[in-house]
């Protein structure tokens, strides 16, 4: 049986999108469903000691889903500023290339 993907979205930061996604991913994984997760953009990332940005929400999604993809695949675009991704992109001088 082919399962269909679905998207969890919301209109602001801190409204619970990641919490809900983690709960759904964990529930499915606990039922033996293979779960893949993606968080294409994460803003408000903390700096790791090596200077890289830590996508904490993506790491939570990875943990609760049991997904084995590396964090860079789950969340390829990370920004320090806690803003909308397009705004953080401009302010941080990054380029988002969806191709």
Give residues with Cβ within 8 angstroms of 5, minimum separation 6: none
What is the predicted pLDDT for the residue at 6? 83
Which residue, 76, 69, 36, is CA-closest to 55? Answer: 76
**Known catalytic membership, residue 17:** no
For 11-38, write each residue's pLDDT tens digit.
777 788 999 999 999 999 999 999 999 9
Which residue, 72, 70, 67, 54, is CA-closest to 21? Answer: 67
What is the predicted pLDDT for the residue at 12? 77
Among 39, 61, 64, 75, the one annotated catalytic: 39
Low-confidence stretches of the chain (pLDDT < 50) are none
């Amino acid at each position: 049986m082919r399962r269909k993907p679905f998207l969890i979205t919301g209109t602001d930061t801190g409204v619970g999108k990641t919490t809900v996604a983690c709960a759904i991913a964990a529930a499915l994984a606990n039922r033996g469903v293979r779960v893949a997760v993606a968080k294409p953009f994460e803003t408000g990332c903390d700096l790791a000691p090596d200077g890289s940005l830590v996508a904490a929400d993506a790491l939570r999604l990875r943990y609760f889903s049991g997904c084995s993809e590396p964090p860079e695949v789950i969340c390829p675009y990370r920004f320090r500023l806690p803003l909308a991704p397009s705004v953080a992109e401009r302010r941080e001088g990054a380029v988002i290339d969806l191709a």
